[in-house]
């Protein structure tokens, strides 16, 4: 594939950050700004380090795990990632369709179908040579997001509305870190072909972190206005803001879901090198649309969160192993990952939240390899 420059990487991750999911998370978090910023900085740092691994090695996200977890471990994580990304593709399409309904006065789960078609088209445009079209889309998305933010900031506070109570610090930290951490199994898919590995990783993680904080702030604005969700807040603001929001929902759903769909192809390629990631991504779009239309996502979400719990401790072990330990300890790394995953399942009452607790457990266990003396070589 053609090498990507800093601008290309910035555009990709700007599109990833502008999403309904980010705004809804900010709506739930409220204006706990210290937790929001610190959570994003923590997640953004890990995102940068993960992206740098792929950028320096020229390998996609799942391929970078092979030296840490072995070939069978890499295949397991690749398969789990494909399952996760199929699910999240369906979730993003269903969420986009739900947001379009109030703005179009025509609620229908079948709106997921045209969204899936647009994502399939974007898979071939977004990583191809048609960067002028991609840039126009991102400039339009940025401009409309600025207009919506300014207009919502000028809305009077609804005294009769009952906004969500701001989350406690560690709960807000958990929600804020969750978004950048959710991209850890994907970022190397888009930095592996970078012209400048360090710069591309920094730009990707930096742009995503800053724009994600912006989306959380937009959600906090909606919360202060008493809006239940993004679409209802824009409907309340009236025209032309609702019309602008319609374009933002479509573009943001497409640019975010594109990363999930295309990366599922990259992970599938780790299982079978002959697969074309773009064609797999299109197939995932179709499957995601079917799942969204069938309305099974409410029953699927718990499973998605279970699968997602696999990747925070995986990333912790990967980063500790590659940046600090630098020794091949496949079986110990798998144990450290498993301990972190089990911790995630039982750490719901942890004061710092299950994600950060699982990351700390896996990171500490993985780093213990440094305490074992290296075998001496006989001359």
Q: What is the DSSP string of 276-315?
A: -HHHHHHHHHHHHHHHHHHT-HHHHHHHHHHHHTTHHHHH
pLDDT at 371 over 60: yes
Answer yes or no: do 171 and 101 share one domain. Answer: yes
- Mean pLDDT score of the chain, rounded to an integer? 85
Query: Is the Cβ–Cβ distance between 57 and 263 less than 8 Å?
Result: no
Q: Which residues contact 296 (CB under 8 A, 6 or more apart)?
A: none
Residue 252: pLDDT band (50, 70, 90) is: confident
Residue 52 has pLDDT above 90, yes or no: yes
With a threshold of 0.85, does the pTM exceed it?
Answer: yes
Same domain flag for 324 and 246 = no
Q: Point out the domain boundary residue: 298, 327, 343.
A: 298
Average pLDDT over residues 132-143: 78
Residue 309: predicted pLDDT: 86
268 shares its domain with 122? yes
In a 10 Å sphere around its CB, with 0-12 CB exposed, 13-18 middle and 19+ buried, how is residue 276 labelled? exposed
- In this predicted structure, what is the pLDDT of residue 280? 93
Q: Which structure tokens are listed for 246?
A: 């319609």
Q: How many CA atoms lie within 13 A of 284 on its CB side?
A: 32
Query: What is the CA 95 to chain-centroid distance, rounded?
Result: 15
Using the predicted structure, report yes or no on whether residue 247 has a pLDDT greater than 80: yes
Better-predicted residue by pLDDT, 164 or 77: 77
Do 320 and 277 lie in a common domain? no
Looking at residue 70, its pLDDT comes to 94
138 with 204, same domain?
yes
Split at pLDDT 50, 70, 90, the class of 161 is low
Instruction: Count Cβ neighbours within 10 Å for each residue of 172-202 and write b for 16 or more, e otherwise.
Output: bbbbbbbbbbbbbbbbbbbbbbbeebeebbb
Query: What pLDDT sits at residue 379?
Result: 42
Confidence of residue 132 (pLDDT cuts 50, 70, 90): low
- Say whether 246 sits in a helix, a strand or coil: helix
Q: What was the pLDDT predicted at 323?
A: 94
Last residue of a domain, one of 298, 325, 357: 298
What domain range is 313 assigned to?
309-370
Q: Are residues 221 and 337 in the same domain?
A: no
User: Total structural domains in the chain?
Assistant: 2
Q: What is the pLDDT of residue 239?
A: 61
Question: Number of helices and strands (H, E) in the chain?
Answer: 16, 0
**64 in Cβ contact with 318 (< 8 Å):** yes
**pLDDT, tens only, 8-22:** 899 889 989 988 888
Report how far apart, in Å, the C-alpha atoms of 228 and of each of 30, 102, 105, 231, 379 are.
Answer: 12, 12, 17, 8, 71
């Amino acid at each position: 594939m053609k090498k990507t420059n800093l601008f290309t990487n910035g555009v990709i991750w700007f599109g990833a950050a502008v999403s309904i999911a980010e705004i809804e998370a900010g709506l739930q978090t409220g204006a706990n700004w210290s937790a929001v910023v610190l959570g994003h900085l923590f997640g953004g740092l890990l995102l940068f380090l993960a992206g740098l691994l792929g950028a320096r090695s020229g390998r996609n996200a799942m391929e970078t795990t092979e030296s840490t977890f072995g070939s069978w471990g890499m295949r397991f994580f690749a398969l789990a990632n494909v399952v996760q990304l199929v699910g999240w593709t369906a979730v993003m399409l269903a969420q986009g369709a739900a947001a379009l309904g109030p703005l179009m006065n025509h609620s229908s789960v079948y709106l997921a179908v045209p969204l899936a078609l647009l994502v399939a088209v974007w898979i071939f445009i977004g990583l191809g040579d048609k960067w002028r079209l991609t840039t126009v889309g991102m400039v339009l998305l940025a401009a409309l997001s600025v207009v919506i933010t300014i207009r919502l900031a000028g809305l009077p506070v609804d005294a009769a509305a009952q906004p969500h109570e701001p989350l406690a610090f560690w709960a807000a930290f958990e929600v804020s870190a969750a978004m950048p951490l959710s991209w850890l199994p994907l970022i190397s898919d888009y930095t592996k072909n970078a012209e400048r590995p360090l710069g591309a990783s920094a730009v990707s993680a930096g742009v995503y972190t800053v724009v994600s904080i912006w989306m959380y702030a937009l959600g906090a604005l909606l919360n202060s206005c008493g809006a239940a969700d993004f679409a209802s807040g824009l409907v309340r603001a009236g025209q032309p803001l609702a019309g602008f929001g319609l374009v933002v929902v479509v573009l943001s759903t497409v640019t975010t879901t594109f990363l999930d769909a295309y990366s599922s192809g990259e992970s599938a390629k780790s299982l079978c090198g002959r697969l074309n990631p773009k064609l797999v991504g299109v197939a995932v779009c179709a499957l995601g649309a079917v799942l969204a239309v069938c309305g099974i996502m409410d029953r699927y979400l718990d499973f998605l969160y279970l699968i997602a719990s696999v990747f925070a401790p995986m990333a912790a072990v990967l980063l500790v192993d590659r940046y600090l330990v630098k020794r091949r300890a496949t079986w110990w790394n798998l144990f450290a990952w498993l301990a972190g995953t089990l911790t995630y399942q039982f750490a719901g009452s942890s004061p710092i939240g299950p994600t950060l607790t699982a990351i700390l457990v896996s990171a500490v266990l993985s780093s213990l390899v440094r305490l074992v003396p290296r075998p001496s070589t006989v001359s």
